[in-house]
């Protein structure tokens, strides 16, 4: 990965309007590791932070525009208002999934809750990238996340949390009884996914694979 990411090294520490990537996710999902790797091409050991970290770098070879990367700490996940400060003008939102998320109903539920808050905040030019960080089949993992989202929507609707038009107050899609949630049919922005290998620990021998993310970086696509 060193060769294909070498163009990310000349980083420009200034904001670039309309070329912003936000990284969100649960605690321990590798958000900060990913952000620093895109900036430095180095896998660093990181720890949970309460601060919003902002970096910038060039998203494509020869690009004259810089890409701003916002690393959103997980303690903001429970507040739509705080998430909105960092997501509404992002052209790409990256959510690295926790390893083995499909084996944990609790992690699936927390991931669905975060997505239910984040998706309605995204602007019309945005897209969402979900990174599968384990050996499971990415399509099956995303299907499990969609099922968890559907279950959450149905629970909220059964509790009466919807407006007169049949939509949830948060802007979440309305599902008919028994209807399944799918990103293709119900997400307000395009949702893409791929394998995103983020090692648990940093160091010279650590390898991070972000090949499926690279084409979606702001400024790297038409």
* CA–CA separation, 151 and 156 (whole Å): 9
Assign 16 a pLDDT band (cuts: 50, 70, 90): very low
* CA–CA separation, 54 and 72 (whole Å): 9
* CA–CA separation, 77 and 69 (whole Å): 17
pLDDT per residue over 33-61, tens digit each? 898 888 888 887 666 777 888 888 766 65
DSSP conformational letter for 43:
-
Q: Quick one: average pLDDT of 77-94?
A: 93
Q: List Cα–Cα distances, 116 to 80, 105, 111, 168, in angstroms.
A: 10, 16, 9, 10
* CA–CA separation, 171 and 18 (whole Å): 24
* Phi, psi torsion values for 76, nearest 5 degrees: -85, -5
Q: Specify whether the CB–CB gap between 86 and 72 falls below 8 A.
A: yes
Q: Quick one: average pLDDT of 10-18?
A: 41
Joined together, the tokens standing for residue 178 give 């028994």
At residue 101, the pLDDT reads 96
**Nearest Cα to Cα of residue 202 among 92, 26, 40:** 40
Q: What percent of the chain has pLDDT over 90?
A: 52
Q: Quick one: average pLDDT of 115-125?
A: 94
- State whether the Cα torsion 99-101-104-109 is positive or negative: positive
Least confident of 4-8, 163-167, 212-216: 4-8
- Report which of residues 128 and 177 the model is more confident about: 128
At residue 172, the pLDDT reads 63
Joined together, the tokens standing for residue 183 give 């990103």
Least confident of 156-160, 189-193, 217-221: 217-221
Structural domains of the chain in order of their starting residue, each with its CATH number: 2-107+122-147+188-216 (3.40.50.300)
What count of Cα atoms within 13 Å lies in the side-chain half-sphere of residue 210?
31
**Nearest Cα to Cα of residue 7 among 181, 177, 220:** 220
Strand partners, 70: 22, 54
User: Is residue 115 pLDDT above 80, yes or no?
Assistant: yes
> CB neighbours of 120 closer than 8 A, spacing ≥ 6?
80, 170, 171, 172, 188
């Amino acid at each position: 990965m060193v060769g294909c990411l070498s163009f990310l090294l000349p980083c420009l520490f200034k904001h670039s309007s309309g070329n912003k990537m936000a990284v969100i996710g649960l605690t321990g999902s590798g958000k900060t590791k990913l952000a620093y790797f895109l900036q430095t091409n180095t896998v660093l050991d990181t720890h949970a932070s309460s601060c919003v970290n902002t970096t910038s770098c060039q998203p494509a070879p020869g690009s004259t525009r810089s890409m701003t990367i916002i690393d959103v700490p997980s303690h903001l996940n429970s507040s739509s208002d705080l998430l909105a400060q960092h997501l509404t003008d992002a052209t790409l939102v990256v959510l690295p999934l926790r390893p083995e998320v499909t084996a944990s109903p609790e992690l699936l539920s927390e991931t669905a809750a975060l997505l239910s808050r984040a998706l309605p905040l995204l602007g019309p030019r945005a897209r969402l990238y979900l990174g599968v960080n384990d050996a499971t089949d990415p399509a099956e993992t995303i299907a499990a996340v969609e099922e968890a989202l559907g279950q959450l929507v149905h629970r909220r609707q059964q509790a009466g949390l919807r407006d007169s038009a049949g939509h949830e107050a948060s802007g979440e899609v309305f599902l008919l009884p028994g209807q399944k949630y799918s990103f293709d049919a119900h997400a307000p922005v395009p949702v893409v996914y791929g394998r995103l290998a983020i090692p648990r620990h940093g160091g010279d021998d650590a390898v991070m694979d972000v090949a499926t993310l690279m084409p979606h970086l702001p400024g790297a696509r038409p």
